[in-house]
Amino acid sequence: DVRKYPKASIAKGRLEVIQEPGEIIFVPTAWHHQVWNLEDTISINHNWINGTNISTVWTFLVESLNQVEHAIRDCCEMEDWIGQCQILLKATHGMDFHEFYTFLKVIAQRRIDFLTGKYDLKCFNYWKLGKNQALYDLKKLAWCLEQLLDDQRLDTIKVFQNLDNGHPSDLLEAIKIVL
């Protein structure tokens, strides 16, 4: 918007791209961008969860759970109210606390295995994850695990009381050992 940002055309580091049919453009997380279609266009966008925005995903999930709890606060005396809130959270936002933890665990274990030399982490049989990226991701995952463990609701969610595959505190400890 040249009215809002009159000096945008002379900004340093600014990129202007004309995308042709069949081409793709990757825009990194949190990069401001603006699209102007020169003709009728079909655009497919995908928002990724990565080390850069995982804290935002966690914060959004907590805020969403707070909204769910507020919306059904009149039912707080019912049996397993916290569990019901988790069901509603998953239904409305696609993920509950347990699924978020499982997601963190899968990513963390791959980073831990890579950093401890168990294997190279490749994407699409070509791209290799770098050591600095793996360390960065683990630091961000550790922050999320600390937030999860600090949430007082965690101990009241039944699935976290009987985990066969390890408690979030175990995963956090494993990450700290590697870091």
**Whole-number pLDDT of residue 120:** 78
- The sign one gets for the Cα dihedral 15, 21, 23, 27 is positive
How many C-beta atoms lie closer than 10 Å to residue 114's C-beta?
A: 22
One-letter amino acid of 42: I
Give the integer Cα–Cα distance in Å for 119 and 102: 21
What pLDDT score does 66 carry?
A: 97
Q: What is the mean pLDDT of each run of 10 residues along the chain (179 residues)?
A: 79 81 80 82 81 94 97 94 96 94 96 91 78 96 98 91 87 97
- pLDDT at res. 172: 98
pLDDT value for 88? 96
Sign of dihedral through CA atoms 127, 178, 145, 31? Answer: negative
* pTM for the whole structure: 0.78
Which two structure tokens, joined as six digits, stand for 67? 């909204």
| Torsion angles phi and psi, residue 127, rounded to 5 | -75, 130
- Residue 49 DSSP symbol: P
- Contact criterion met (CB below 8 Å) for 134 and 126: no
Task: Enter the tokens of residue 26.
Answer: 């990757």
